[in-house]
Structure formats: structure tokens, C-alpha cells
């Protein structure tokens, strides 16, 4: 804890005084003052753990704050501050915090940030590795651990916490009425998007990511690219975005977007258009399930039996027969130059006693 530094400093002063052979009465008095001072610091000062989370919807923040409160009951010398962060804003906020010397102690973020943060020297890889070791390597899937290895040091850069798979959610009842096959391939997805597109009646075929400032757009585009053999890299690891496969994918994605709502769209629009019956298909993670079921008071479902009439297709088959999907691994990162010991304890608590609450924070 922070006050340990004060103890070390005072011990050095005491050693100096003894070496100078000061009177015992004076030394004793100073010792008593030191003990009293340390007691005050120990009583008054708490270690503060700033926990940034990209699970920033109110209901999920409430769960995370409850977990933090339970943790603080067991660790009265530690105060946990839960700070919600919009996922697209995370890189900017981290850069700003780094410049100000105020990085969070712990942060919840997706796998796509792990390597970059590790290369930039922001993550305390030793702390993450220690947390994983304390919880036991067997507590984690090997594949998840392999994904969070630091490209710099080879040890774990962050702690895996959960994950999800994205796909197309679609109106089974409407598809049945038109005799359409489930949207599992480029052809069936485009065919359905055309069939349902009727903007004059406020009906759209599909909602995909078209907002360039949102991670959602990359998440939706990626499985289309992979299902066409377009990875964005050549055999030597160079970035290439003009291959025939990538150009074909971009052309297809542009055509598909034309059958969606106007303007830049991301997951907010996808959810809204779908639950009010103005979209036949949308991309989303399983976190949409409670919204579709009408369990979230803030989002009013106007389609009768929407949950019953909704299907889910997590895999896309491309024109060459390649199957692809999009999955996300979520991690907890411990940052450098923070209260490492307290951060490790909090991470272990979240994945220990608090883990069931994390898993049930939202369906999916």
C-alpha cells in the first residue's frame, strides 16, 4: 500500500538519528511520533483501484459496482471506483490518461486492444501473469490464454474473462411467409435483404455496420472478408487491402448496405430497428437476447412474440464455400505504474466470487 513508502522513509530517518547517537529520550519521542503518524496514514489512506469498463450500460454498471462493493467489504483498505467508458473512445482515453500519468489500474476491453497496449508498454504483463498463475492455469482454456500472450515478452498481457460470438438475427416468421432460406450465405443474405427492403413502408432488409467510427462496423465486415479468403495480409505479413478477394468483399458489403436504413449505423440502430419491426435482419452479439425478449425496460419491443419468431445464424458461407464467423474475447488488463497488488486482488475476485454475477450480467 502507499503508506508503506512512508514507513520505509521514516525507518531511514530513525537509522540516521541512531547513527548520529542522539539522546535516547529524543529518539524514543521520535519513534512514538513515527508510530502515531504511520497509524494515522494506515487508518486514513486507502488504496484506490480505478476500474474502467467498456460494459457501460447502466444495468451492467450496476452489477459491476455491486461486485466492487462486495470486494471492498472483504478489503476495507481498498476502494474500487467503477468508471464506464464507451468502447470506441477507449484508445483516446487511454492515450490521454497516459499523457497525464493517470492510467487506470484495471480495464475491461476486447482482445483487439491487447497486443497494441502491450507493444506500447502500457500493460503490466507480470501482474497479469501472476493473477493467472494464482487462479491456476487450468482455470482458463488454453486457446484463450494463447490469444492474450504479449507479442513483446511472450508472457500473458491480460487476463481472459469472457467472450461472445456475433451473427445474424432474423425474423423467422417473415422469412417463412416469403419462403426464404435462413441467411447463412452471401447469396441468401443478399436475396433476403432485397426481398424485405421497402423504405416507403419504413421496412429495411438488414442493418449492418456503416459507421466508420464504430468498432461494430469492423466486427460485421470481418466475417464477410474471412468467408471470401480476404485477411488483409499477404504471406509475408504485409497489409494488403486491394486483393481481388478484398475488393469483391467491399463491393458486396456496399451492395448489402444499400438495403439498410439511411445514415451511419451501428449496434444501436440495429437493435432499435429490429425490436420495433422495421428490419428483417441485423448483426448483433448474444447480448441482444434480453432486449428481444422485452426484459429491458428502456427498450420497448413492439413486435408480438419477437423472441419466439427470431432465429440466429452465427456462421456465414462465402462464394468460395469458406465458412467464417466473428467471435470476441474480453479481457481484464492491469496497467503499469498502478497499485499492482490491489489490482491483482480485484481481478482475482472478479473471476472468483464475482464471476457468476459477471456471467449473468446480461444474457449472452
Mean pLDDT per block of 10 residues along the chain (364 residues) reads: 48 58 53 50 73 92 97 97 94 95 96 95 97 96 96 94 95 98 98 98 98 93 97 90 96 98 96 97 94 88 96 98 96 94 97 94 70
The CATH fold of domain 164-327: D-Maltodextrin-Binding Protein; domain 2 (3.40.190)
Q: Are 104 and 83 in contact (CB under 8 A)?
A: yes
The residues, ordered by sequence, that sit 6+ positions from 265 with a Cβ below 8 Å of its Cβ are 207, 208, 209, 210, 211
Provide the pLDDT for residue 235.
Answer: 87
Q: Whole-model pTM?
A: 0.79
Helix (H, G, I), strand (E, B) or coil at 248: helix
Distance between CA atoms of 191 and 12, rounded to whole angstroms? Answer: 77
Q: Which of 107, 86, 117 is nearest to 159 (CA)?
A: 107
Specify which residues 330 forms β-bridges with: 110, 162
The residues, ordered by sequence, that sit 6+ positions from 108 with a Cβ below 8 Å of its Cβ are 51, 52, 53, 54, 55, 161, 330, 331, 332, 333
Provide the pLDDT for residue 45.
Answer: 75
Distance between CA atoms of 169 and 283, rounded to whole angstroms? Answer: 6
Q: Are 275 and 299 in contact (CB under 8 A)?
A: yes
Q: Are 282 and 300 in contact (CB under 8 A)?
A: no
**Between β-strands 78-84 and 47-53, what pairing exists: parallel, antiparallel or unpaired?**
parallel
Provide the pLDDT for residue 3.
Answer: 43
Provide the pLDDT for residue 361.
Answer: 83
Provide the pLDDT for residue 4.
Answer: 45
Distance between CA atoms of 14 and 5, rounded to whole angstroms? Answer: 14
Distance between CA atoms of 242 and 233, rounded to whole angstroms? Answer: 10
Provide the pLDDT for residue 9.
Answer: 53
Report domain extents, the chain: 3-38, 47-157+335-359, 164-327
Architecture of the CATH domain 47-157+335-359: 3-Layer(aba) Sandwich (3.40)
Amino acid at each position: 500500500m502507499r503508506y508503506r513508502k512512508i514507513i520505509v522513509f521514516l525507518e531511514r530517518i530513525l537509522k540516521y538519528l541512531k547513527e548520529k547517537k542522539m539522546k535516547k529520550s529524543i529518539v524514543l519521542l521520535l519513534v512514538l511520533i513515527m508510530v502515531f503518524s504511520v497509524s494515522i496514514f494506515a487508518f486514513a489512506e486507502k488504496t484506490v483501484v480505478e476500474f474502467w469498463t467498456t460494459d457501460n450500460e447502466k444495468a451492467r454498471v450496476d452489477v459491476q459496482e455491486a461486485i466492487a462493493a462486495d470486494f471492498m467489504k472483504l478489503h476495507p483498505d481498498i476502494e474500487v471506483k467503477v468508471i464506464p467508458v464507451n468502447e470506441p473512445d477507449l484508445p483516446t482515453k487511454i492515450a490521454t490518461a497516459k499523457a497525464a500519468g493517470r492510467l487506470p489500474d484495471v480495464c475491461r476491453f476486447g482482445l483487439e486492444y491487447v497486443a497494441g497496449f502491450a507493444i506500447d508498454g502500457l500493460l503490466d504483463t507480470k501482474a497479469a501473469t501472476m493473477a493467472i498463475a494464482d487462479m491456476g492455469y487450468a482455470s482458463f482454456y488454453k486457446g484463450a490464454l494463447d490469444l492474450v500472450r504479449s507479442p513483446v515478452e511472450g508472457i500473458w498481457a491480460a487476463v481472459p474473462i469472457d467472450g461472445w460470438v456475433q451473427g445474424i438475427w432474423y425474423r423467422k416468421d417473415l422469412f417463412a411467409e416469403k419462403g426464404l432460406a435462413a441467411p447463412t450465405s452471401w447469396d441468401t443474405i443478399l436475396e433476403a435483404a432485397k426481398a424485405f427492403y421497402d423504405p416507403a413502408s419504413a421496412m429495411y432488409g438488414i442493418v449492418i455496420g456503416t459507421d466508420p467510427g464504430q468498432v461494430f462496423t469492423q466486427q460485421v465486415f470481418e466475417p464477410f472478408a474471412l468467408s471470401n479468403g480476404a485477411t488483409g495480409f499477404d504471406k509475408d505479413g504485409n497489409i494488403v487491402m486491394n486483393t481481388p478477394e478484398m475488393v469483391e468483399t467491399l463491393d458486396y458489403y456496399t451492395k448489402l448496405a444499400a438495403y439498410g436504413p439511411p445514415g451511419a449505423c451501428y449496434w444501436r440502430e440495429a437493435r432499435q430497428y429490429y425490436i420495433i419491426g422495421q428490419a428483417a435482419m441485423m448483426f448483433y452479439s448474444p447480448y441482444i437476447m434480453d432486449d428481444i425478449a422485452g426484459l429491458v425496460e428502456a427498450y420497448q419491443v413492439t413486435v408480438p412474440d419477437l423472441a419466439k419468431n427470431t432465429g440466429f445464424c452465427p456462421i456465414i458461407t462465402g462464394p468460395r464455400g469458406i465458412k467464417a464467423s466473428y467471435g470476441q474475447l474480453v479481457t481484464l488488463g492491469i496497467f503499469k505504474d498502478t497499485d499492482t497488488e490491489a489490482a491483482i486482488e480485484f481481478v482475482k475476485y472478479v473471476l472468483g466470487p464475482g464471476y457468476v454475477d459477471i456471467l449473468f450480467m446480461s444474457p449472452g
